Amino acid sequence: MIGVCLKWVDRRPEPAGVGGGPDQPDERFAGVSAADQAALEWALRQRDLAGGEIVAVTVGPAAADAVLRDALAAGADRAVRVDRPFGAPSRTVADDLATVFAEATTVWCGDYSFDRGTGSVPAFVAAALGIGQALGLVAIDVDVAGIGALRRLDGGRRERLAITGRAVLSVEGGTALLRRAPLRGLLAKPVIDVVVPAQRIDAAHPADARPFRPRPRAFAPPAGSTALDRIRTLTAAGATVAHGETVTLDPPAAAERILSALREWGYI
């Protein structure tokens, strides 16, 4: 089995749930990211060379069936939707995906979703399956003997990989362009399997968890009788440059120093 992870997201510039938006994507503008489309294309190329069955999976409500119908039209063999409300935690989504991909030899994912996702799901899937992972792939070469890839690293560096055996691969959107679905596929009425997971509550990863963002701080208006004076105040032009201070402290003292600085800067 060759698995493909697809996330149903809002493709408008302002994604759902941001800036007071809706709780889930508007069906009129929803779909998958370019990275997920590239993942599906690489799965199709792998099957064309080495054979196998492609299973496209998404986690979401009934409206997410649209992305699975598109995947089947493009050439996927089977589609599965895990029925959960939109916005489930990444670890929960990964556990659901891993349940479907228990027998998969390769799992293709997009590196991150269009709705400002963290890109953590592929790593969670690999951990749940207990198999290798190759994340952030920017170039791929699929062969019968295996998969060669170029992986993006920090600092502009790259790493060449030779991937054999079971693995989860996450790709960037520019690595491949999804082929056009034939008319026969577009007109077909595909069957989508729906899986209803156990409604468990993960206390360590609550559904309403969000990344920490410091609360906004209020600043006094800039002083100055002219616009130039106020710009100088805002940009601190002419102020003495403060240099960083390097200190070495024990862990408890270091933690207290960090908290003290955050209080001084107004973050807590």
Q: What is the 3-state secondary structure (H, E, C) of 206-258?
A: CCCCCCCCCCCCCCCCCCCCCHHHHHHHHHCCCCCCCCCCCCCCCHHHHHHHH
Category of 241 on φ-ψ map: left (φ > 0), alpha (ψ -120 to 50) or beta: beta
Evaluate whether 203 touches 89 at the Cβ level (below 8 Å).
no
**What is the CA angle 48-80-40, rounded to 5?**
35
The string of pLDDT tens digits covering residues 154-180 is 888 899 999 988 999 999 988 999 999
The string of pLDDT tens digits covering residues 20-42 is 444 677 777 788 889 999 999 99
**Mean of the per-residue pLDDT values for the chain?**
84
> What would you report as the CA-atom Rg of the chain, rounded to the nearest whole angstrom?
23
pLDDT, residue 184, reads 84
The string of pLDDT tens digits covering residues 118-152 is 788 999 999 999 999 999 999 999 988 889 999 98
- Of the listed ranges 108-117, 134-143, 182-191, the least confidently predicted one is 108-117
Evaluate whether 31 touches 11 at the Cβ level (below 8 Å).
yes
pLDDT at 212 over 70: no
Evaluate whether 99 touches 57 at the Cβ level (below 8 Å).
no
Q: What percent of the chain has pLDDT above 70?
A: 87
- Of the listed ranges 47-61, 163-177, 191-205, 214-228, the least confidently predicted one is 191-205
User: 32 by DSSP, 3-state: which?
Assistant: coil
Question: How far apart (Å, rounded) are the C-alpha atoms in residues 34 and 32?
Answer: 7
pLDDT at 218 over 80: no
- Tell me how long the chain is: 268
Q: What percent of the chain has pLDDT above 90?
A: 46
Lookup: tokens for 103: 């027998």
pLDDT, residue 105, reads 93
All structural domains of the chain:
2-195 (3.40.50.620), 227-265 (no CATH)
